[in-house]
């Protein structure tokens, strides 16, 4: 049994900050669960264009408000506590947080924790982890 | 892209109530994400003995307090907001909520939504879904 505490993760190298978001990686690939589980905050006022070509992702909003634009369908959906979006078709999307958006995120396959978004807003497929 | 709202799920047949817990299944096997994602409340005062022999499960506590006893190691861990437990070895365990425990749960492989706990507190492996 694995026991993790968000407070500890946030004080560790499993807490990743980038442009417009910060993510506490509670479970990663090396935990061998077959998925990774992150608590991610997307910051108010940012515009996050993403396209996970190699991963499926589900995101449950726990707190905050914003929108998600589906770049394939052109539709925009409201985000607030209790709304989940799932990128079941590697959907290209833009998240626009109006307030800080606190979210619980699950990735399949699990991320290793070392990935960075590439120029397309994707994480690479299984590659050696980057260290910065 | 899948968009789900917890309020709608709770009013649907994807909301399952059983002895000591209720679970809103935001994502199930038929969503083809490779995992299922549930918002589950375990009720204050209950004693939930579980053993998922066929699934790995991760549980993040969002609200409430309680304990989890690892029946293999004999250890008991405190549960509160921000604590995650992951049953990476199909661990036999007992959850004892002191207050209602609101949790975000991920199962691998995904559950179909029709499973019931058997006499061991397990969900069966891939079997036809039960309808009641």
CATH number of residue B55's parent domain: 2.60.120.10
Q: Give the per-residue pLDDT at A126.
A: 52
pLDDT digits (tens, 9 = 90+) for B10-19: 999 999 999 9
- What ipTM does the predicted assembly reach? 0.88
**Calpha distance A63→A79 (Å, rounded):** 9
Is the CB of B79 inside 8 Å of chain A's CB atoms?
no
Q: Is residue B4 part of a domain?
A: no
Is the CB of A58 inside 8 Å of chain B's CB atoms?
yes
Is the CB of A2 inside 8 Å of chain B's CB atoms?
yes
Q: Is residue B80 part of a domain?
A: yes
Say yes or no for a CB contact (<8 Å) between B60 and A91: no
Say yes or no for a CB contact (<8 Å) between A108 and B82: no
In which domain, by residue range, is B83 found? 23-108
Q: Is residue B1 part of a domain?
A: no
Judge whether B93 and B50 are in contact, CB under 8 Å: yes
Where does the pLDDT of residue A119 fall: very low under 50, low under 70, confident under 90, or very high at 90 and above? low
pLDDT digits (tens, 9 = 90+) for A60-104: 999 999 999 999 999 999 999 999 999 999 999 999 999 999 999
Of B1, B87, B106, the CB nearest to A37: B106
Q: Is residue A114 part of a domain?
A: no
Q: Is residue A115 part of a domain?
A: no
Q: Give the per-residue pLDDT at A113.
A: 82
Q: Is residue B92 part of a domain?
A: yes
Q: What percent of chain B has pLDDT over 70?
A: 87
**Calpha distance A82→B95 (Å, rounded):** 24
Average pLDDT over residues B33-45: 97
Rg (CA), chain B: 14
Q: Give the per-residue pLDDT at B130.
A: 38
Average pLDDT over residues B23-50: 96
Q: Is residue B96 part of a domain?
A: yes
Is the CB of A131 inside 8 Å of chain B's CB atoms?
no
Judge whether B59 and A37 are in contact, CB under 8 Å: no
Chain mean pLDDT for chain B? 90
Judge whether A57 and A103 are in contact, CB under 8 Å: no
Average pLDDT over residues A50-64: 94
Q: Give the per-residue pLDDT at A7.
A: 95
CA distances from A111 to A49, A51, B42 (A): 19, 15, 29
Query: B110: which residues sit within 8 A by CB, 6+ positions away?
Result: B27, B28, B29, B31, B33, B34, B35, B36
Number of domains in chain B: 1
**Calpha distance A32→A38 (Å, rounded):** 15
Q: Is residue A59 part of a domain?
A: yes
CB atoms within 10 A of CB B65: 16
């Amino acid at each position: 049994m694995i026991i993790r505490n968000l407070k500890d993760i946030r004080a560790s190298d499993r807490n990743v900050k980038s442009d417009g978001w910060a993510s506490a990686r509670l479970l990663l690939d090396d935990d061998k669960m077959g998925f990774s589980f992150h608590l991610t905050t997307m910051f108010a006022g940012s515009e996050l264009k993403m396209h996970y070509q190699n991963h499926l992702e589900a995101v449950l909003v726990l707190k905050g408000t914003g929108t998600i634009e589906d770049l394939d369908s052109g539709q925009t959906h409201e985000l607030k506590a209790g709304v989940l979006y799932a990128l079941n078709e590697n959907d290209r999307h833009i998240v626009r947080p109006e307030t800080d958006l606190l979210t619980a995120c699950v990735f399949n396959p699990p991320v290793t924790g070392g990935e960075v978004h590439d120029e397309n807003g994707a994480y690479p497929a299984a590659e050696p982890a980057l260290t910065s």
